[in-house]
Chain A
Amino acid sequence: MFQKPGDKIRTLSARGWVRNVCREMSIICVLALWMVLQGWTVAVAQDIDILLKGGHLIDPKNGIDERMDVAITEDSISRVALDIAPGEAKRVIDISGLYVTPGLIDMHVHVFHGTDGDSYIADSYVSVPTDGFTFRAGVTTVVDAGSSGWKNFRLFKKQTIDRAQTRVLAFLNIVGVGMEGRYEEQNPEDMNPVMTTLMAKKLFPEIIVGIKAAHYWGDFTQVDKAVEAGNMADLPVMVDFGEHEPPLSLETLLLNKLRPGDMFTHTYSYTRGWEAVVDENFNVKPYIFKAQQRGIIFDVGHGGGSLIWHQVIPSMKQGFYPDVISTDLHTQSMNGGMKNMTNLLSKFINMDMPLKEVILRSTWNPARYINREDLGHLSVGAVADLAVFNLREGEFGFVDARGRTMKGNRKLEAELTIRAGEVAWDLNGRAFPIWDEEPLRY
């Protein structure tokens, strides 16, 4: 502050000066002590870019299920604590009354979108462009489940993975051309474990997290080839157990063919050529429990035809929970019973799975099953992929893949999704100031 002319200049005696300095020093000392007690190792103001304040944190990996503040600096989690002072943050988002979780990982999607009219899911119309379906449902990472094989993975990467804001990982199809069509998927000569392994391990180990076998009509050849590749590449195998007339033995698949850590998807399917997990009296088959104990991962993979109330409701009641909840997102599921990840998770909430169990199966579980333990949690230093949810109460209905409804009274809604520290979805504008309370921007 400058002195204006005529201001009285204060003069101090030496004693007075010493007294004042001592008083101020003591104030500083008290302040410093207080800051140390508060856990401020370095008292630099506004280190935090975004502070999510007042939310209920569910972080299954770290065993957290309580009210916690979460701080983000640049693209990572910088602090998680009961109470972080708003003054430390450049931007504070009040999420009182809401849940905050790691960004969801949808472990089964089809996002190899393209315009090859002769193809099915690979580079074609049945796959969807990722970002329009993820952030609005709290998802920050998707795993494409075998849309591409080693022959067209590079195109998939160029066209989708490199362009998406969502993190896109992939299971490589054991079929070289991926999901080009049902007939191409029957070709054992295009199932090359060596090439699949080279692609996964040598060229794209950061992206390819597993091997997929799907839609096969024959014997166990396809599964065997996929497991062979899985062994060579040290990666898990995900099996869509195809269409077999008569059905191949599910027990053999789960107990003899797959390895612990391999995945069985479309768990609650009920269709021709497919052995279901519950028997005709709606009892979960004993070998299913045995397989889960053995370490086989049961994945929901809802899709357009693979979550049937008659399968999943008895399963849940008898304690057979899925290990991973995933959508099997594509054009045939997006407008049907599945809709999106939050709607799917809400189904499990309304089947009385506790919220933290639901979040576990859509964050930390998929992360560790795909060997990406850097994801799916909010430990300090982890990438700041987060989702904030509102748990709505009311009268809701949930439709299965056969067009039948189950009533429910709770529904998750994605309020805010943050990807690598950036707000990627903000349903109600919680992250931003009121329009007429700040300078105009055009």
Chain B
Amino acid sequence: MLKKNVYARYLLAGGLLLLLPLLTHAQSYDLLIDNGHLIDPKNNIDRVMDLAVKDGQVARVASSIPASDASKVVDASGLYVSPGFIDMHTHVFHGTIPDAYLSNSFSSLPPDGFTFRAGVTTVVDVGDAGWRNFPIFKEQVIDRAKTRVLAFLNIIGGGMKGGVIEQNNEDMNPKMTALVAQNNPEIVGVKIAHYNGHEWEPYHLAVEAGEKADVPVMVDFGSATPPLSLETLLLEVLRPGDIYTHMYGGDTSPDGVRQAVIDENKKLRGGMLKAQERGIIFDVGHGGGSFFYPIAVPAFEQGLKPNTISTDLHTGSMNGGMKDMMNLVSKMLNMGMSLQEVIEASTWKPAQVIQREDLGHLSEGAVADITVFDSMEGEFGFLDSREHLRPGTQKLETELTIRAGEVVYDLNGLAAPMWNE
């Protein structure tokens, strides 16, 4: 053993001497993610690749990048590497105003404790703030979070303060909404939600704001008695590129207040696939009451898959069936989407939908927002938002999350040195 060690030392010393020119050569990369299986849907990459980061950006993607070129190397053998996830439906305007629901109040969550551990580097807050209170949202959340926070502005000027406040037709101002949207680069869309009436005018106003600001509109289809026609919404009211969220929510019974994508006979409603072809974005928006297997499974089997996978994160969903983005992505994987499909639906696709094509991919020069994850096999269970269980066999686990080149979450110390070295 001793002798062997001596030889090994000679070999090591010799090797080091040979390597000396390389070592003295300045290391050109800050971080190398070595030997991971890279899935980058925008660039059609789905194979083992090395990825190098420098100054917060993706510097190089190649089959082989020498470890000596980087000051820090992460061995990602056996793991997957993807663009940082973009969670296109969250509620992060946390605050302490009583009785204000998701707008500067207790049902919203500060993002950083829920994102990085789930592989997310960008969240889109959908409608917590309206044009009147967006500046508070920016000061309190956007400017303080390490997570990139973008926003859809609520068509209601006061934002998502709860059922009653969201019925105020006089606070729906497309002009002001569009103006504030145009003047704040973090605003990437307009939201209408929880509207309780049997008229289309509020939806038209949201679309008007979207048109003026050249951003998409996201619809939470509220409720109405009798229910408004989902087909009309998706084929006539909304424009291609607009978003229908809570796609597996609603109600299948004819006297329900919101139409589900399937009818009472579990048949996909007419117009759903046509709407998707037309360019309507179907968004999961799981939440605490918007993902039901009795709707999702038949709809999925009849061909209606999500364009974007998003959590609808807030206090009502964080401890329920949703849990976090990685759990939700795993759930969709077990529903029958492929790994490539779920990654595209949580990276490149949402980036395109919100017209932020600088995000959601790992092209050279792109910001280094990166997720490294493991795929585990075993017996797992996934709950929907009414505590229905669906067993599964595959589950993803976040290993490492990198935001603008910085390690922001490292489950097993992949990027950390050993304690006793």
Known: A115-B96, A399-B416, A405-B417. A435 touches B315 (CB 8 A): no
- Max chain A CB contacts within 10 Å: which of B110, B117, B250? B110
Closest to A408 in B: B412
Decide if B300 is an interface residue (CB 8 Å cutoff): no
Kindly list chain A residues whose C-beta atoms are within 8 Å of the C-beta of B389: 429, 432-435
Asked if residues B390 and A331 are in contact (CB atoms below 8 Å), the reply is no
Kindly list chain A residues whose C-beta atoms are within 8 Å of the C-beta of B390: 429, 434-435
Kindly list chain A residues whose C-beta atoms are within 8 Å of the C-beta of B416: 397, 399, 403-405
Kindly list chain B residues whose C-beta atoms are within 8 Å of the C-beta of A132: 109, 113-114, 315, 318-319
Asked if residues A397 and B414 are in contact (CB atoms below 8 Å), the reply is yes
0 or 1 for each of A243-269: is its CB under 8 Å from B? (1 = yes)? 000000000000000000000000000
Asked if residues A159 and B96 are in contact (CB atoms below 8 Å), the reply is yes
0 or 1 for each of B97-136: is its CB under 8 Å from A? (1 = yes)? 0000000101001101110110000000000000000000
A246–chain B nearest beta-carbon distance, Å: 27
A171–chain B nearest beta-carbon distance, Å: 22
Known: A132-B318, A435-B388. A397 touches B380 (CB 8 A): no
Which among B113, B381, B411, B418 is the interface contact of A334 at CB below 8 angstroms?
B113
Kindly list chain B residues whose C-beta atoms are within 8 Å of the C-beta of A19: none
Decide if B366 is an interface residue (CB 8 Å cutoff): no
Of the 9-residue stretches A73-81, A99-107, A287-295, A420-428, which lies at the interface with chain B?
A: A420-428
Decide if A430 is an interface residue (CB 8 Å cutoff): yes
A194–chain B nearest beta-carbon distance, Å: 29
Docked CA distance A425–B417 (Å)? 34
Decide if A40 is an interface residue (CB 8 Å cutoff): no
Decide if A242 is an interface residue (CB 8 Å cutoff): no
Which among A114, A399, A425, A435 is the interface contact of B293 at CB below 8 angstroms?
A435
Of the 9-residue stretches A123-131, A201-209, A220-228, A298-306, which lies at the interface with chain B?
A: A123-131
- Max chain B CB contacts within 10 Å: which of A114, A117, A429, A431? A429
Asked if residues B414 and A428 are in contact (CB atoms below 8 Å), the reply is no
Docked CA distance A177–B75 (Å)? 47
Known: A115-B140, A403-B416. A432 touches B387 (CB 8 A): yes
Asked if residues A404 and B417 are in contact (CB atoms below 8 Å), the reply is yes
B138–chain A nearest beta-carbon distance, Å: 13
Docked CA distance A25–B342 (Å)? 65
Docked CA distance A163–B96 (Å)? 11
List which B238-266 residues lie within 8 A (CB) of chain A.
250-252, 256
B127–chain A nearest beta-carbon distance, Å: 20
Decide if B204 is an interface residue (CB 8 Å cutoff): no
- Max chain A CB contacts within 10 Å: which of B112, B117, B413? B413
Known: A125-B144, A310-B419. A441 touches B386 (CB 8 A): yes
Closest to A313 in B: B419
Kindly list chain B residues whose C-beta atoms are within 8 Å of the C-beta of A334: 112-113
Closest to A395 in B: B412
Kindly list chain A residues whose C-beta atoms are within 8 Å of the C-beta of B409: 335
0 or 1 for each of A152-165: is its CB under 8 Å from B? (1 = yes)? 00000001000100
Docked CA distance A331–B113 (Å)? 7
A401–chain B nearest beta-carbon distance, Å: 11
Docked CA distance A407–B417 (Å)? 11
Decide if B410 is an interface residue (CB 8 Å cutoff): yes
A299–chain B nearest beta-carbon distance, Å: 22
Docked CA distance A3–B380 (Å)? 50
Closest to A128 in B: B113
Docked CA distance A430–B321 (Å)? 12
0 or 1 for each of A204-218: is its CB under 8 Å from B? (1 = yes)? 000000000000000
Which among B94, B144, B319 is the interface contact of A135 at CB below 8 angstroms?
B319
Asked if residues B387 and A398 are in contact (CB atoms below 8 Å), the reply is no
Which among A398, A426, A431, A433 is the interface contact of B413 at CB below 8 angstroms?
A398
Known: A334-B113, A404-B417, A441-B386. A428 touches B292 (CB 8 A): no
Closest to B293 in A: A435
Known: A132-B318, A400-B419. A426 touches B383 (CB 8 A): yes
Closest to B253 in A: A442
Kindly list chain B residues whose C-beta atoms are within 8 Å of the C-beta of A426: 383
A50–chain B nearest beta-carbon distance, Å: 14
Kindly list chain B residues whose C-beta atoms are within 8 Å of the C-beta of A280: none
List which A163-196 residues lie within 8 A (CB) of chain B.
163
Asked if residues A129 and B110 are in contact (CB atoms below 8 Å), the reply is yes
Asked if residues B319 and A424 are in contact (CB atoms below 8 Å), the reply is yes
Kindly list chain B residues whose C-beta atoms are within 8 Å of the C-beta of A131: 315, 318-319
Interface size on B, residues (CB 8 A): 53
Known: A131-B319, A335-B117. A436 touches B96 (CB 8 A): no
Asked if residues A434 and B391 are in contact (CB atoms below 8 Å), the reply is yes
Kindly list chain B residues whose C-beta atoms are within 8 Å of the C-beta of A159: 96
A162–chain B nearest beta-carbon distance, Å: 11
Kindly list chain A residues whose C-beta atoms are within 8 Å of the C-beta of B288: none
Known: A335-B112, A397-B414, A441-B386. A114 touches B96 (CB 8 A): yes
Kindly list chain B residues whose C-beta atoms are within 8 Å of the C-beta of A441: 292, 386-388
Asked if residues B414 and A435 are in contact (CB atoms below 8 Å), the reply is no
Decide if B285 is an interface residue (CB 8 Å cutoff): no
Decide if B382 is an interface residue (CB 8 Å cutoff): yes
Kindly list chain B residues whose C-beta atoms are within 8 Å of the C-beta of A442: 250-252, 256, 292, 294-295, 386
0 or 1 for each of A385-403: is its CB under 8 Å from B? (1 = yes)? 0000000000111111001
0 or 1 for each of A333-364: is its CB under 8 Å from B? (1 = yes)? 01100010000000000000000000000000
Decide if A321 is an interface residue (CB 8 Å cutoff): no
Known: A428-B380, A441-B386. A397 touches B413 (CB 8 A): yes
Known: A135-B319, A441-B386. A125 touches B96 (CB 8 A): no
Kindly list chain B residues whose C-beta atoms are within 8 Å of the C-beta of A125: 110, 144
Decide if A309 is an interface residue (CB 8 Å cutoff): yes
Asked if residues B413 and A405 are in contact (CB atoms below 8 Å), the reply is yes
Decide if A14 is an interface residue (CB 8 Å cutoff): no
Asked if residues A335 and B116 are in contact (CB atoms below 8 Å), the reply is yes
Decide if A406 is an interface residue (CB 8 Å cutoff): yes
Decide if B384 is an interface residue (CB 8 Å cutoff): yes
List which A71-124 residues lie within 8 A (CB) of chain B.
113-115, 117, 123
B353–chain A nearest beta-carbon distance, Å: 27
Decide if A53 is an interface residue (CB 8 Å cutoff): no
Which among A313, A398, A429, A440 is the interface contact of B294 at CB below 8 angstroms?
A440
Kindly list chain B residues whose C-beta atoms are within 8 Å of the C-beta of A405: 412-413, 416-419
Asked if residues B408 and A335 are in contact (CB atoms below 8 Å), the reply is yes
Docked CA distance A432–B380 (Å)? 13
Docked CA distance A406–B417 (Å)? 9
Which among B104, B252, B315, B381 is the interface contact of A429 at CB below 8 angstroms?
B381
Known: A159-B96, A405-B418, A435-B293. A396 touches B412 (CB 8 A): yes
Docked CA distance A426–B386 (Å)? 13
Asked if residues B381 and A430 are in contact (CB atoms below 8 Å), the reply is yes
Decide if A133 is an interface residue (CB 8 Å cutoff): yes
Kindly list chain A residues whose C-beta atoms are within 8 Å of the C-beta of B383: 426, 429, 432
Q: Jot down 27 A-B pairs with beta carbons below 8 A, ordered by A.
A: A113-B94, A115-B94, A125-B110, A125-B144, A129-B109, A129-B110, A132-B109, A132-B319, A159-B96, A163-B106, A331-B110, A331-B112, A334-B113, A335-B116, A398-B412, A407-B418, A424-B319, A428-B382, A429-B390, A432-B387, A434-B389, A435-B297, A435-B384, A435-B389, A441-B388, A442-B251, A442-B292
Task: Beyond the given A334-B112, A427-B381, A428-B381, please list 18 additional residue pairs across the A-B interface where CB-CB is below 8 A.
Answer: A114-B96, A125-B144, A132-B113, A132-B315, A159-B96, A313-B419, A331-B110, A334-B113, A397-B416, A398-B412, A399-B410, A405-B418, A428-B379, A435-B293, A435-B297, A438-B388, A440-B292, A442-B292
Q: Please provide the 8 A-B residue pairs with the shortest distance between their CB atoms, ordered closest to farther.
A: A405-B413, A435-B388, A429-B381, A397-B413, A397-B412, A428-B381, A429-B389, A309-B419
